[in-house]
Structures are given as C-alpha cells and as structure tokens.
C-alpha cells in the first residue's frame, strides 16, 4: 500500500501543481476530505480549489513546484516540497508586487479508498504572503 500512497502523493503534486490540471483535484480529493492548512481547515475539492489553489495560481502564474522527498507508510505519505514564483497576478486580496517568492513546506496526506481523505500542511506561505502584502500596501 505504501507504493500506491507514494504514487498518489507524487501524482497530486505533478498534475495539480506542475501541470496545473485542476480537474485532478476533483479526481483525487474525497468529497468529505479536510485539509488542515496554515490558515485553518479546507473542506473538500471545491473548498481547496476556491480557498487555496485558484488564488495561488492566479497570484503566481509562473509558480514552479518541486517535490524534494516523499516518505510513505501504509495509507499515509509525507511530501517535502519547494516552490518559486513571481507575484505578478491578483488573487490574494492585494495588488501584484512583481516580487520573486520562495516557498517551502511539508504536506502530510492520508489516503482513504484511493483518494485523499485528510491532509495537513505546514509551510512558510503565510509568512511570505504577509511580506508581499506589506510591500503592496506600504
């Protein structure tokens, strides 16, 4: 099962974040899922798209995400990732700054019936976004 879990975690990052296939979110995220992120819980695939994915992709159209490591055991996987992009779009509630941004984080996923059921994320995204907001609104 760990191999399947690892493959699903890699597919998530490759298709959702590298290829920007938003439809993969609907395929892989269980309707009853909860992602416990840096800014609180996000419910289901629609919640993830509206509260996190769409704003990030709009704000950082050139976002490049790299999976640095995946560790899987049973129905759980932990992914260490990094990302870089230019804050050149709207979507975060403040104007684009044109600033380069660098993100890093850990995402812990639990798989249920072949889909993402529960997730936890810890990253520097809130810190980076606060800095960008301060630059946009001095």
Output the pLDDT for position 101: 98
Domains: count for the chain: 1
Q: Which residues pair with residue 106 across a beta bridge?
A: 80, 122
pLDDT given at position 125: 96
- Show pLDDT as tens, one digit a residue, over the chain (138 residues): 788 999 999 999 999 999 999 999 999 999 999 999 888 899 999 999 999 999 999 999 999 999 999 999 999 999 999 999 999 998 898 999 999 999 999 999 999 999 999 999 999 999 999 999 999 987
What is the reported pLDDT for 39?
84
HSE toward the beta carbon, residue 44, CA cutoff 13 A:
4
Residue with tokens 């998530």: 12
Here the contacts of 126-132 (C-beta below 8 Å, separation 24 or greater) are 126/38, 126/39, 128/101, 128/102, 128/103, 129/92, 132/87, 132/92, 132/94, 132/97, 132/99, 132/101
- Considering the entire predicted model, what is its pTM? 0.92
Q: Are 88 and 119 in contact (CB under 8 A)?
A: no
Handedness of CA 104, 123, 90, 42 (dihedral sign): positive
Q: What pLDDT, on the 0 to 100 scale, is given for residue 17?
A: 97
**CATH number for the domain that contains residue 106:** 3.10.450.50
Dihedral Cα 36, 38, 44, 50, nearest 10 deg: 170
Domain of 80? 2-136
Sign of CA dihedral 37, 20, 109, 44: positive
């Amino acid at each position: 099962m760990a191999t399947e879990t690892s493959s699903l975690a890699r597919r998530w990052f490759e298709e959702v974040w590298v290829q920007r296939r938003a439809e993969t979110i609907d395929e892989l995220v269980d309707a009853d899922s909860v992602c416990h992120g840096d800014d609180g819980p996000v419910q289901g695939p629609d919640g993830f798209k509206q509260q996190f994915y769409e704003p990030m992709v709009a704000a950082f159209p050139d976002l490049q995400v790299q999976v640095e490591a995946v560790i899987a055991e049973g129905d759980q996987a932990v992914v260490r990732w990094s990302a870089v992009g230019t804050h050149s779009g709207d979507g975060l509630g403040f104007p684009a700054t044109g600033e380069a941004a660098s993100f890093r984080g850990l995402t812990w996923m639990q798989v249920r019936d072949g889909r993402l059921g529960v997730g936890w994320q810890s990253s520097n995204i809130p810190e980076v976004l606060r800095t960008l907001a301060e630059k946009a609104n001095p």
